[in-house]
Structure 1
């Protein structure tokens, strides 16, 4: 469990790095006249993602779940792939990437990188990670609860984002 706890802490540190990038990009977007949409669901998103990390740590301990190598190692590979996709999205969007939905007027819509293949690749990374990260250490309840709640949240989030981005060319 020790190495798994370190993995969860590392993911937490990575989230803090994402928030720092997001804050820098948010400030830049605001200076460019960026307008935020859907701010009301943002606190729920923060709580849900923090809950994922907490559940990943707590469930294996409270339920005495073993590490199952046949499940854990493949799920770890999936988690790493999800991180690579997430950072590909962040680097492709550059200053336009944010944890919030902020659209800079007259900005060009990004259609390169993973956005050439999917309209919302970052959300694919979130979905995949939300399933795989808990399953690295058999936390299937956390994986199931996060997946259901995240589906509800993403349904609203993607609707807000699509509406906000509709004006970009």
Structure 2
């Protein structure tokens, strides 16, 4: 049966495309309010990583059985993703945008983690391939994602500190 894996991949692909549209709208609104983008030089790497992840899954996963345990973990990650989006509202974007004078969000999942969205994405990058029976794929992309997130989190923390938001 091919349809469960194809349905899951279709969901994730449409979700990511929808999030890119939301991020583009939110980015434009934040910039219009005086926000400024920082550390954009690594953004194409993030886009390439995520595109390669989705393309790789589409090449390798159709027709593979969906593993129930990992699928349930993935569903849990989706609930946490929605919690992040609901908490950040118009401030959620895929770029690092500093909005002068805006306080740091400390509600929702941000009460527990400084960067919950990155933790969720790291989980998704590992868990979705595991749900589709691709453990080597999960490891390889998790390592690439960890390297990228190391750069991203460092850049975002520096930007927040320079804007004196973290102080």
**Same fold by TM-score greater than 0.5:** yes
- Post-superposition offset of 1:88: 0.9
CA distance in 2, matches of 1:52, 1:77: 20
What's 2:37 paired with? 36
The 3-state SS of whatever aligns with 1:50 is: helix
Contact 2:5 2:61 in 1 (8 A): no
Q: What stretches of structure 2 of length at least 5 have no aligned partner?
A: none
- Confirm whether residue 116 of structure 1 aligns to residue 117 of structure 2: no
1:14-163 matches, within 5 Å, as 14-60=15-61, 66-67=64-65, 72-163=67-158
CA distance in 2, matches of 1:52, 1:3: 19
CA deviations 1:139-169 (Å, max 9, x no partner) are: 1222111100000000000001111122226
CA deviations 1:101-134 (Å, max 9, x no partner) are: 0010010110000000000100111111111101
Contact 2:26 2:90 in 1 (8 A): yes
CA distance in 2, matches of 1:21, 1:137: 27
Ranges of 4+ aligned residues in structure 1 off by more than 3 Å:
none
CA distance in 2, matches of 1:66, 1:35: 44
Moved more, 146-155 or 12-21: 12-21
CA distance in 2, matches of 1:24, 1:110: 19
Q: Tell me the TM-score normalized by structure 2.
A: 0.91
* RMSD of aligned residue pairs (Cα, Å): 1.5
CA deviations 1:36-75 (Å, max 9, x no partner) are: 11111111111111111122222246xxx853x6xx1111
CA distance in 1, matches of 2:54, 2:157: 28
The 3-state SS of whatever aligns with 1:142 is: helix
- Post-superposition offset of 1:90: 1.3
